[in-house]
Amino acid sequence: MCFGVRDAITLARRTAAQQSVTVLGQLVHNQGVLEQLHREGVRFAESPDEVRTDAIMITAHGASDKRLTAARLTGKKVIEATCPLVHYAHRELRMLLVTGYHPVIIGQRGHVEVNGLTEDLDECDIILTEDDVAQMIERPKFGVVAQTTQPIDRVRRLTDSLRRRFPKSEVLLQDTVCRPTKERQQAAVDLAQQCEVVVVIGGSNSNNTRELVQTCLKHCKRVHHIQSSAQLEENWFSADDIVGITAGTSTPDWIIDGVVQALKSLEQKVTSSTELAAAAH
Ligand code: SF4
């Protein structure tokens, strides 16, 4: 689990032990962790109007000034668990704006972090594909930032496309992809190149987990995205397979450990059933 999500969970737990608190949105894209936090008293809501607790917490994904103001107007205590690396992306975007660049955000439209980056802007482009670049109109200066969990090679590729499409424009990229994402993506490439099967553990709505799946698929044909050990299937594996495991930034250690244990049990089962089949021949 990355430090940003881990710190946000710790803050939610510590706050819930002292006062009632509601988190706006999903603190972490992992159902198991959310259920555990709920049992510890943490409440969740989508909008400040729904909050009935003493305090409101903003997630590690951050929030726009508009959303922060709406939270403060409820009169409740507002606690920010925004990751420092998301704050960095906000600061870089603001610098680009004040120096006259048209803002371009490489990220998933509608994702809470992207909403936090864009909700205060009068205009901006949110792009994720070459088609998105093709639909943009020319501006003298483009200032590019990325959602922190985007693969860095996509960010560079789309920035290059922008430069090719608008050769007369200045295109400035501020690299806001966070270090945990970069390290995890590179580790996933190294892993997938060595394995016959890769199991990626993480929430079905976790952007960085889905990106890990896509990255692994470029280097390994058999990639399975699961949320917990309960979703592992025996028929995905055969006795000689080297199986790699990776996980999104919001996957806790106890879920990963559960998958490792389940895979070890499966390994024995798959190996012995292969031996039985060989003996029968
Ligand atoms: S994925 Fe990166 S930016 Fe997001 S919370 Fe983790 S460290 Fe922070």
Q: Residues 84-141: pLDDT tens digits?
A: 999 999 999 999 999 999 999 999 999 999 999 999 999 999 999 999 999 999 999 9
Location of each CATH 3.40.1010.20 domain in the chain:
85-177, 180-273
Give residue 211 CA to ligand 1 midpoint distance, Å.
14
User: Two tokens at 201?
Assistant: 């553990």
The residues, any chain, with a CB within 8 Å of residue 157's CB and separated by 6 or more, are none
In a structure prediction context, what are the per-residue pLDDT tens digits for the chain, which is 281 residues long?
Answer: 889 999 999 999 999 999 999 999 988 888 888 899 999 999 999 999 999 999 999 999 999 999 999 999 999 999 999 999 999 999 999 999 999 999 999 999 999 999 999 999 999 999 999 999 999 999 999 999 999 999 999 999 999 999 999 999 999 999 999 999 999 899 999 999 999 999 999 988 888 899 899 999 999 999 999 999 999 999 999 988 999 999 988 888 889 999 999 999 988 877 666 665 555 55
Task: Judge if the beta carbon of residue 4 lies within 6 A of ligand 1.
Answer: yes
Which one, of 181, 180, 187, 186, lies nearest residue 244 by Cα? 187
Q: Which CATH number fits domain 85-177: 3.40.50.12780, 3.10.129.10, 2.160.20.10, 3.40.1010.20?
A: 3.40.1010.20
Tell me the pairing of strands 77-80 and 21-24: unpaired
Provide the whole-model pTM. Answer: 0.86
What pLDDT was estimated at residue 218?
A: 95
Give residue 268 CA to ligand 1 midpoint distance, Å.
36
Burial of 83 (0-12, 13-18, 19+ CB in 10 A): buried
Q: Which of 40, 46, 113, 233 is catalytic?
A: 113
CB 248 within 8 A of CB 209: yes
- H or E segment and range at residue 243: strand 243-247
Tokens 């003996």 found at: 279
Closest C-alpha residue for ligand 1 atom 7:
4
Task: Judge if the beta carbon of residue 202 lies within 6 A of ligand 1.
Answer: no
CATH code at 3-82: 3.40.50.11270
Estimate to the nearest angstrom the gap between the alpha carbon of 140 and the chain centroid.
Answer: 32
Query: Which string of DSSP letters, residue by residue, matches 50-114?
Result: G--SSEEEE-TT---HHHHHHHHTTTSEEEE---HHHHHHHHHHHHHHHTTPEEEEES-TT-HHH
CATH code at 180-273: 3.40.1010.20
Location of each CATH 3.40.50.11270 domain in the chain:
3-82
